[in-house]
Amino acid sequence: MKLEPVADLPEIRPGDDLAELIADRASLEAGDVLTVASTVVSKAEGRMVDLESYPVSGRAQELADRIESVAGERKDPRFAQAVLAESTELLIEAPFLLTETRFGHICVNAGIDRSNVPDHDLLLLPKKPAESAERIRTGLTERGLEDVSVIVTDTCGRPFRHGQRGVALGWAGMPASRDWRGEPDRDGRELGVTVQSVVDELASAANLVTGEGADGTPAVVVRDWAFGDLEGSDELFRAVEDDLVRQALREWDWGDDS
């Protein structure tokens, strides 16, 4: 498998055609997977906003005060309001805000970014990353670059581990996972639970190339990787009824001692 960054992409502005910008700079072939950081997808879709655009509700002020009392860190209530606006559910209130985004992703602060946003305070995640991925893929197809899969990526932490790693937010042209259940291991034992999240693994691999912070390489071409002949699935975000951790958080007593 080979990973090649797409070099010399300009600073992305609202309305920019990512498919065109990438097609002009990347040597794409049928079967490639193109990963695109959600940062540039959000910029192209005009998801840059200012804190002043969020009038503070009583709930946002309450959350900001709670975080300050528990973590000793002042949280701007306007930022808390932005997080509430981008979330369908608040799972943890302190010492940070753990939320479910409107497209089903669980992350801190609804994935809102405060870095690499010239002239603005905040960068929101794409509204519908799967549709964003499909638009990029369609744009590539219209330019003669057929059979290229697209993954919109982001970085986030993982419970019980330090650090960040790449994850998929949306994808097009390929399943999210491949199902190994029913396949034998080397000793002939049948696998019973193994479903491999390939879009997350490709996003994480690409993140080694894109880097973090000021690297400025938001797109990567993955080549010579094959899904194989296993069954595929697009079920990436775990349903509430199957998520024991989320169920436990819902039952948690958010009293003054929490």
In terms of Cβ atoms closer than 10 Å to its own Cβ (0-12, 13-18, 19+), residue 1 is exposed
Q: Is 38 annotated as a binding residue?
A: yes
Asked if residue 212 belongs to a known ligand binding site, the reply is yes
- Residue 77 annotated as binding? no
Query: What DSSP line would sit under 73-138, residue for residue?
Result: ----HHHHHHHHHTEEEEEE-SSS-EEEETTS-EEEGGG-B-SS-TT-SEEPPPS-HHHHHHHHHH
Residue 2 annotated as part of some ligand binding site: no
4: nearest Cα among 27, 38, 37, 30 = 27
Query: Annotated binding residue at 17?
Result: no
Decide if 157 contacts 163 (C-beta within 8 A).
Answer: yes
22 annotated ligand binder: no
**11 known member of a binding site:** yes
39 is an annotated ligand-binding site residue: yes
- 213 is annotated as contributing to ligand binding: yes
Query: Is 32 annotated as contributing to ligand binding?
Result: no
> 216 labelled as ligand-binding?
yes
Q: Is 197 annotated as a binding residue?
A: no
Is residue 141 marked as binding? no
Helix 58-71, helix 77-85: angle, nearest 10: 120
Q: Which long-range contacts (CB under 8 A, 24 or more apart) does 101-104 make?
A: 101/125, 102/127, 103/127, 103/128, 103/129, 103/130, 103/169, 103/170, 104/237
The annotation places the binding site for a divalent metal cation at 113, 154-155, 212
The annotation places the binding site at 9-12, 38-39, 43, 113, 116, 154-155, 210-217
The annotation places the binding site for GTP at 9-12, 38-39, 43, 116, 210-217
